Amino acid sequence: MLVVALVSFSLFNFVGDPINNMVGEETSDEEREELRESLGLNDGVYVQFSRFIVNASKGEFGISYQLRRPVSDLIIERLPATIELVIISALIALISGTLLGVYTSINRKGLLSDIILAVSLLGVSLPTFVIGILFIYLFAVILGVLPSFGRGEVVDLGFWSTGFLTISGLKAIILPSVTLSLFQMTYIIRLVRAEMMEILQTDYIKFARARGINEKSIYYKHALKNGLIPVITIAGINIGTLIAFSIITETVFQWPGMGFLFIQAVQFVDIPIMSAYLVFIAFVFVMINFIVDILYYFIDPRIRVKGDKIIG
Amino acid sequence: MDNKFQNTWERIKESDVYFSFIKSPTAIISSVILFIIFFCSFFIEFLSPYDPFDPSTLSLMEAFTPPSWTEEGVAKFILGTDGQGRDMLSTILYGSRISLIVGFSAIIFSLVLGVFLGLTSGYFGGKYEMIVMRLTDVQLTVPSILMALLVDGIARGIISRELHDEMAIYVLIFAIGISEWPQFARVSRAATLVEKNKDYVSASTIIGVSNILIMFKHILPNIMRPVLVIGTIGLALAIIAESTLSFLGVGVPPTTPSLGTLIRLGNDFLFSGEWWITFFPAIFLVILAFSINLLGDWMRDTLNPKLN
Amino acid sequence: MSFLKISNLSVDYKMRRETVNAAKNVNIEVSKGEILGLVGESGSGKSTVGNAIINLIDEPGKVSNGTIFLGDINVHKDPENIVNYRGNKIGLIFQDPQTSLNPIFTIGEQLIETIQTHLNLKLEEAKNKAIGLLKEVGIKDAEVRFNNYPHQFSGGMRQRVVISLALCCEPELLIADEPTTALDVSIQSQILDLIKRLTKERNLAVILITHDMGVISETTDRVAVMKNGDLVEIGPTKKILTNPKEIYTKSLVSSVPPTNKKIDRFIIIEKENKKQSETNIKILNRWTKKEIINQYLVQVKHLSKTFNDSFFTESSKNSVMAVDDISFKIKEGQSFGLVGESGSGKSTIAKMIVNLFRPSKGDIFFDNVCITKIKSNKEMMKFRKQIQMIFQDPYSSLNGRLKVKDIVAEPIKLHNPSISLKDLNSYINDLLESVELTQQSADRYPHEFSGGQRQRISIARALATQPRLLICDEPTSALDVSIQAQILNLLKDLQEQLNLTILFISHDLPVVRQMCDRIAVLKNGKLCEVSKTEELFKNPSHEYTKELLRLMPKIESIYNL
């Protein structure tokens, strides 16, 4: 976390001259100096860094160079849109990815499995933005059944604005979330399948067969529970990746989330937004890792009862 | 010398890899497609009657010509033209060359960097290994596309805008390459750890072979299989990453468009009905990535001893 | 009336180029209360027969012919039905207890699941039965251990759990596939005793698959010998071992190192290499033969090694003492044996002598120079040349990417960079010939050779630097017994003619008896005793040595029945 803070601070500090980016060519040197002073850019590096940390922990990242508004306001405004999108996509990717992965690993020779696998390979080869464009063209331009951009009507709950409560909001989220989840879903299918197939070849599965345990129990109890352990890790990384890829989806669908904000910031070298986004992402990742570790503890007894001595 | 070559060929023909290759139609088809794409992209100057980047040959009158098989199509532009009257097929092939160059350079860059760090850290261990692995952990949690975006963002900050357009392709190679290396480092480190504990490495040490020689002569050839599999799949990812960045407008500039840039430019015309401008580059990109992935998938199945 | 009746069983593996017949027309009968040993070397098809009985053959194998009757039931009549017999009528035990149990379920859950699959019992009844079973196989505090996970058991205890799982639904036939190969001698005898006891108590029919003639001789009533899928010979154990009819069985029996006496050379009946060796060692003329002066070549003084590896810190804070204050001396030209079970520190000592590990305490003297204190690379190279090592695993000890000639050439070129190409090639040929490999071998890759041949390549590589001390770390424990005999003979020949000093490391007492002049016995990193070989076997002084000698499976025990 601190590492990320340092990186985003150095971004803030050493990358170009923010003043140049903020003001026009015609600004005089005095005016520049004044602005510099007011932004605290003339203080020592350590002072600036500690101020950055303090402010960051309070959720303040300064003022956007480009939009001239406090970054924290911008983030809070955009946050709900991104989170709703990512959660829906993660659910789609995880649930359908795991189910299809298990299905293809158990029915290895079936026609349906072959189709799922071929489609999943195609899915890995389809860049997210291409999927998005195809969807827009198909559902919005040709069929005209779903909206191609925006969030639809949102309901403001004070601190949170949600699109879940209106029909247009729900309609609007279908295309972006499916687009976003598709790549991850295919990835999970392949991972689960590889993992399951490896487990099905282990000695303990063979021994379970030799004891006459029925196939259903072998697949869904013995193999699946072992197979899900790495899936948890992947699910963690998966959510992180979804957030990153939401940048693309949000751009394609002009979804008013943080990714859209970020990509504009990159194009205009709007450092405060970039560094705030980075800190936000780092925070999410740390949280996800933490949750994954806890889940591991509950699922894998080898970690849970490690302290016990081997007896006998 | 001829004899030696023949022997090598005989060995290849005898090998399991060759056998499974000729038994796998998908592997053959995808490599044929890839060969055609590579060939056409790199020799496009000699194959295409048009040079899309020579303004004197372009005519705005010919802009937005639909593909040749549609009613308004013209036979000389098979896939139609874009908003500036450029022949789509030629533009796509020029674009795919840029995509391929960026993809290959990026993947080679990250392969060399990752394998070097993975091999040395796995072999020497200790604090050095810990630092390298921490680095990969940190970087693996940051998705590659985000990493590439950041690198590009920083580069924009450091390099002036005019220079940036010129440097764009190198920045892009570096950005994608730097975001992919942890994969290689991890795989090669894991493989190195396995190989390091094998007795042939101990035997070499006892004979007195130096560390460097052990690493690069003995271990490196033995860890290349998984690295190559990752490399092939990584190539597809790198090409997709390149086009994604270009699509987002932070990649290759429109003056020398890559596939992603073409799709972005075409995307603006999607709603007005000129679907072919964005559709063909997109399909071409998908075919390219799909073929590489098919080949990579086949390689993984063939080279993975566990599943055999 | 026999209980299990296998008639004309054939199993085929359809491979890429040909179909391999893993079992060909095998006929075996087993009665209740009887242990049948199924013995053979690797690739003989013994495990295939075991797996075929309950139709658990790995793809692409298939039972192509034959019937299997269990009492009156034709087991293979309806392939779908075989599931009902698995566990219920037939129990199976695998070789490696570490991987046979599902790591994320407690052993209780696995027992209850198996019991409830076959027997119509309520949860409480099943639990009681499971605990009773655990007690029966000798697990203390069964009520508590019932809720433990597999990783909380040691190897021997896990194998007991595996046995309880195999027996929990009261099968009438038990198939044990190398049940003790992964275990130490002392635990092996406990597990074998357990199987013998259960056979009597439950009137089981048992098939014991093993490669170990000692185990066969001590455990089984009848034995079936297999080779390349064929059943060579079957009959009462005593008759087969003392008076074998078939030439293959004869060679198998004669290759087994006797536990009660030292023999000069093993009698080789069937040779792996067709070419008969004339005991002419070609590298002799290149060898600067040392006069045997009666001095110590190796002196190990108060050697200790502690691993406080980061790998172990999570499970135990205390560091592991792998080698604890060990001293011994080896005279030039002698062969010295290091014996111990797994974890005794024997390999660690070897690795310290060749300087792969640095000792934590103590010194090693080679030719009166302390080699543990050497800092400079150049100095070290002098000793690298004189000390060479052969490893246990013939598959991992050769780099598969190099041709045999490059493998052998590497040490030569390293220690004699100015050697001419012609000289180098003739040296390589001499070396290969000395280990009884053909000259054509030089241009081939390791994977084209069998385990025994690879071990010969390893020996050639080790000899290339003309060492004075050769360390052999379990050089034959991965090999079949007939190949082992050939390799041991070769080592003896080489030692005699080249005056090599050998440090021979093994867990296998009979092998050590054949190979060594003096023996050191190790346990948990500590030295138990050092004495002359014959003395050690006749009059062991340390308790642990006595126990090892008592528990070691003896092929000769059959004569005393």
Q: Do C396 and B16 touch (CB under 8 A)?
A: no
Q: How far apart are CA B182 and CA B189, in angstroms?
A: 10
Partner-chain contact C104 A211, CB within 8 Å: no
User: Residue B138: what residue type?
Assistant: V
Chain A residues in contact with chain C using a Cβ-Cβ cutoff of 8 Å: 202-215, 217, 221-222, 225-226, 229, 299-302, 305-306, 308, 310-312
Q: Is C183 on the interface with A (CB under 8 A)?
A: no
Residue C164 to chain A, least CA–CA distance (Å)? 11
Q: Which residues of C touch B205 (CB under 8 A)?
A: 354, 356
A202 touches chain B (CB under 8 A): no
Identify whether the C-beta of residue C479 lies closer than 8 Å to the C-beta of residue C451.
yes
A113 to chain C, closest Cα gap in Å: 20
Confidence of residue A21 (pLDDT cuts 50, 70, 90): very low
Position A55 pLDDT exceeds 70? no
Q: Is C105 in CB contact (< 8 Å) with chain A? A: yes
Q: Which helix (H) or strand (E) holds C321?
A: strand C320-331
Helix (H, G, I), strand (E, B) or coil at C209: strand
Distance from CA of C316 to the nearest CA of B (A): 20
Do B46 and B94 touch, CB atoms closer than 8 A? no
Tell which residue, A274, A191, A285, has the closest CA to residue B143: A285
- The pLDDT, as a whole number, for residue B297 is 82
Tell me: the pLDDT tens digits for A87-141? 899 889 888 988 898 888 888 777 888 888 888 888 888 888 888 888 888 888 7
Q: Which chain C residue is nearest to residue A211, measuring alpha carbons?
A: C87
Residues 6+ apart with CB under 8 A from A11: A271, A274, A275, A278, B153, B154, B157
Half-sphere exposure of C496 (CA within 13 A, CB side): 12
C370 Cα distance to chain centroid = 34
Backbone Cα Rg of chain A? 24
Whose tokens are 């026999």? That residue is: C2
Q: Which of C152, C161, C312 is the mutation pick for testing A, counting most A CBs within 10 A?
A: C152
Tell me the count of A-C CB pairs closer than 8 A.
Answer: 102
ipTM confidence: 0.80
CB pairs under 8 A between A and B: 109
Q: Is the N-terminal amide bond of C467 cis, ω within 30° of 0?
A: no
A16 touches B at CB < 8 Å: yes
Q: What is the pLDDT of residue A216?
A: 84
* Contact by Cβ (8 Å): A282, A4: yes
What's the pTM? 0.80
Q: Which residues pair with C39 in a beta bridge?
A: C210, C225
What is the rounded average pLDDT of the residues A168-172? 82
Collect all residues of chain B within an 8 Å Cβ-Cβ radius of residue C401: 218, 221-222
A63-101, pLDDT tens digit by residue? 766 667 777 778 778 888 888 888 899 889 888 988 898
Average the pLDDT over each of A64-78, A202-216, B126-140 and give the range with the smallest value.
A64-78
Contact check, Cβ <8 Å, A245/B143: yes
Helix, strand and coil content of chain A, in percent to the nearest 5, comes to: 75, 0, 25
- Selected for mutation to probe chain B from C401, C413, C459, C470 (highest B CB count within 10 Å) is C401
Q: Which residue of B has its CA nearest to C473?
A: B199
Give the H/E segment covering residue C353.
helix C346-353
| C-beta of residue C43 within 8 angstroms of C-beta of residue C230 | no
Q: What is the pLDDT of residue B281?
A: 86
- For residues C532 and C543, give the distance between their C-alpha atoms in angstroms, rounded to a whole number: 17
What local confidence, expressed as pLDDT, does residue B4 receive? 60
Q: Is C122 on the interface with B (CB under 8 A)?
A: no
Per DSSP, helices labelled H in B248-275 are 259-267
DSSP-assigned states of every residue in C96-133: -HHHHS-TTS-HHHHHHHHHHHHS---HHHHHHHHHHH
**Helix, strand or coil, per DSSP, at residue C306:** strand
Q: Identify the pLDDT of residue A288.
A: 79
C-alpha distance from A19 to closest chain B C-alpha (Å) = 12
Instruction: Evaluate whether C365 touches C299 at the Cβ level (below 8 Å).
Output: yes
Mean pLDDT of all residues in chain A? 75
H or E, element range at A154:
none
Closest-CA residue to B246 (of B275, B270, B273, B278): B278
Are the C-beta atoms of C468 and C501 separated by less than 8 Å?
A: yes
Q: How far apart are CA B71 and CA B59, in angstroms?
A: 20
**Residue percentage of chain A with pLDDT more than 70:** 74
Please name the residue that has the structure tokens 């079949």: C480
Give a three-class secondary structure readout of C133-179.
Answer: HHHHCCCCCHHHHCCCCHHHECHHHHHHHHHHHHHCCCCCEEEEECC
Q: How many Å apart are CA B206 and CA A281, to the nearest integer?
A: 49
**Which 3 state secondary structure label does DSSP give C291?**
coil
Best probe of the C interface among A200, A206, A211, by most C CBs < 10 A, is A211
Is C414's CB within 8 Å of B208's CB? Answer: yes
At residue B219 the predicted structure's pLDDT band, cuts being 50, 70 and 90, is very high
CA atoms within 13 A on the CB side of C283: 29
For the cut 80, the answer to whether the pLDDT of residue B206 exceeds it is yes
- Cα C550 to Cα C60: distance, rounded to the nearest angstrom: 44
**pLDDT for residue B214 is more than 50:** yes
Which region holds residue C416: left if phi is over 0, alpha if psi is between -120 and 50, else beta? beta
- B292 at A interface, C-beta within 8 A: yes
Which of A207, A226, A301 is the closest to C100 by Cβ?
A: A207
Question: Does the CB of B209 have a partner CB in chain C at under 8 Å?
Answer: yes
Cβ atoms of C400 and B222 closer than 8 Å: yes
C381: chain B residues, CB-CB within 8 Å: 208
Q: Is pLDDT of A304 > 60?
A: yes
Per-residue confidence (pLDDT) for residue B57, from 0 to 100:
66
Tokens of B188: 């090669």
Going by pLDDT thresholds of 50, 70 and 90, the confidence category of residue B247 is: confident
Are C202 and C99 in contact by the 8 Å Cβ rule? The answer is: no
Structure tokens at B206: 């006892």
Q: Say whether B286 and A122 touch across the interface (CB within 8 A).
A: yes
What parts of chain C have a pLDDT lower than 50?
A: 274-276, 310-317
Which amino acid is located at B73 in the chain? Answer: G
Cβ pair C66, C8 in contact under 8 A: yes
Give me the mean pLDDT over the B147-175 stretch: 76
Highest mean pLDDT among A283-297, B5-19, B43-57: A283-297
Distances from the Cα of A55 to the Cαs of A10, A43, A52, A65, A68, in angstroms?
A: 15, 15, 5, 17, 18
Sheet with C518-523: list strands edge to edge.
C387-390, C469-473, C501-506, C335-339, C518-523, C526-532
CA angle B17–B18–B23, rounded 5-degree value: 100
Average pLDDT rounded to a whole number, residues A44-66 = 62
Return all residues near C467 (Cβ < 8 A) that are at least 6 apart. Answer: C385, C386, C387, C388, C500
Which of B203, B205, B222 minimises the CB distance to C461?
Answer: B203
pLDDT for A29 equals 57
Query: What pLDDT is recorded for position C194?
Result: 92
First to last CA, chain B: 35
Chain A residues with beta carbon closer than 8 angstroms to that of C113:
213, 217, 221
